[in-house]
Amino acid sequence: MKAFVTAVQAGSMSAAAEQLGLSPAMVGQHVAALEARLGTRLLNRTTRRQSLTDFGATYFDQCRDILERVALAELEAETLQTAPRGKLRITAPTTFGAERLVPALRAYREIASEVELDVVLTDRNVDLVEEGFDIAFRIGTPPDSRLIARPLAPYRMMICAAPDYLARNGKPEHPDDLSSHETIGFTPAARSSWRFSRGDDVVEVAPLRHLTVNSGQAVRMAARAGLGIVMQPVILLAADVDDGQLVQLLPDWRLGERPMSLLYYRDQRMTPRMRSFISFAMTEFGQDPD
């Protein structure tokens, strides 16, 4: 039934196979076995497309209802358990995930050793419902009303350059000075301006990017190599500033902070694994360590 329902929802045997972790041939065998058991065809299949038969459409609705009831029964059984266990799918922005989330997971594993974590790092705003994620860390204001957003410490930025670059090009003393400097941009935010504030003064700068890269770590390494000035998250650059690889610029100016949230589906049932991870995340990332 699961192979049949997934094949219909995914649109093809091959797409269903990818979701189920099976071969397309095995998915086809499951559907064929179901048809043989029922004594009637469920899907009209050609080399290019598939479609439900009249009976298949009715049976699909019944199968989907049965599978949902089975999942609910298993979920209710799980909630009776005190120890969190099972698989938890989490997505997070690449830099935050690599620098903060993944290193912190050791502490979570100590309190939930039976939870299997599947972490996907991407700077794309994934659809939790459509793509099967339980929890997401997201920078910016979540637009989806289906999601519950728990506020975390804001995402803070800093502006830096390598000592070698500053020796060759001078050190900017005011945000306006950045127009004469080489800058390195992070591709997803390459068109964004840099906003500075100090007291009542607010300055917005649209720096000319001489290099753009689609990886925060690559931007960091380009800055260390002296290719220009960067504005990147504090969590990515702070260690390089501490050991002298980079120099923080315009420290008396405040850079715009971006809100960060922990998101989960509004109708998501609170299993022990969900509850334990949300509690952990809010403790670990809910307050600004500085």
Q: What is the pLDDT of residue 49?
A: 83
Total domain count, the chain: 3
User: Is residue 215 situated within a structural domain?
Assistant: yes
Q: How confident is the model at residue 289 (pLDDT cuts 50, 70, 90)?
A: very low
Q: Is the pLDDT of residue 108 over 90?
A: yes
Same domain, 196 and 232: yes
Tens of pLDDT, residue by residue over 142-151, are: 667 778 889 9
Which residue, among 284, 269, 2, 280, has the nearest Cα to 134 in the 3D structure? 269
Q: What is the CATH number of the domain that holds 263?
A: 3.40.190.10
User: Is residue 55 situated within a structural domain?
Assistant: yes
Q: Which domain holds residue 218?
A: 157-255
Same domain, 53 and 91: no
Same domain, 30 and 151: no
Tens of pLDDT, residue by residue over 63-73, are: 988 988 888 77
Same domain, 162 and 150: no
Same domain, 97 and 63: no
Same domain, 263 and 250: no
User: Is residue 22 situated within a structural domain?
Assistant: yes
User: Is residue 138 situated within a structural domain?
Assistant: yes
Cα distance between residue 212 and residue 197, in whole Å: 25
- What integer is the mean pLDDT of 29-42? 93
Same domain, 145 and 164: no
More confident residue, 23 or 270: 23
Mean pLDDT of the chain: 87
Task: Pick the last residue of a domain from 19, 53, 79.
Answer: 79
User: Is residue 189 situated within a structural domain?
Assistant: yes
Q: Is the pLDDT of residue 102 over 80?
A: yes
Q: What is the pLDDT of residue 3?
A: 92
Locate all alpha helices (DSSP H) within the chain, ordered by sequence.
2-10, 13-20, 24-38, 54-79, 94-96, 102-111, 128-131, 163-169, 216-224, 234-242, 272-285
Q: What is the pLDDT of residue 81?
A: 61
Q: What is the pLDDT of residue 279?
A: 92
Q: What is the CATH number of the domain that holds 192?
A: 3.40.190.290
Same domain, 127 and 185: no
User: Is residue 290 situated within a structural domain?
Assistant: no
The separation between CA 210 and the C-alpha centre of its own chain, rounded to angstroms, equals 28
Within 13 Å of residue 263, how many CA atoms lie on the same side as its CB?
A: 25
Q: What is the pLDDT of residue 79?
A: 60
Same domain, 111 and 121: yes
Q: Which long-range contacts (CB under 8 A, 24 or more apart) does 43-50 make?
A: 43/4, 43/7, 43/8, 50/7, 50/11, 50/12, 50/13
Tens of pLDDT, residue by residue over 208-255, are: 888 888 888 899 999 999 999 999 888 889 999 999 999 999 999 988
Task: Pick the last residue of a domain from 79, 108, 142.
Answer: 79
Same domain, 149 and 262: yes
Q: What is the pLDDT of residue 290?
A: 47
Q: 281 — phi, psi (to 5°)?
A: -65, -40
